[in-house]
Amino acid sequence: YTYFQRLAQGMRQLMTGNRKFALSYIERGDIAALTKEASDVSGIPYIMDVDRDEVEGILNS
């Protein structure tokens, strides 16, 4: 069980969860960076910032 097999399985689970069954359908908005450093390097939103506005709206209502 190699690292790349684990990575491929994770991608399959991500795509299934998003109901997008091919990599061509995945968009940058479908993914999030797990660390602040990865977010800074890639430009992909940090996981804690992805739904911040929606959550604050729910909590403030």
How confident is residue 19, by pLDDT bands cut at 50, 70 and 90? Answer: confident
| Cβ 46 vs Cβ 36: under 8 Å | yes
How confident is residue 52, by pLDDT bands cut at 50, 70 and 90? Answer: confident
pLDDT, greater one: 1 or 52: 52
| Cβ 44 vs Cβ 32: under 8 Å | yes
Residues 49-58: what's their mean pLDDT? 88
Burial of 29 (0-12, 13-18, 19+ CB in 10 A): exposed
| Cβ 13 vs Cβ 4: under 8 Å | no
Q: How crowded is residue 46: how many other Cβ atoms within 10 Å of its Cβ?
A: 16
Q: How far apart, in whole angstroms, are the C-alpha atoms of residue 36 and residue 38?
A: 5
- In tens, the pLDDT along 21-42 reads 777 877 877 888 889 999 999 9
Q: What is the pLDDT of residue 61?
A: 87
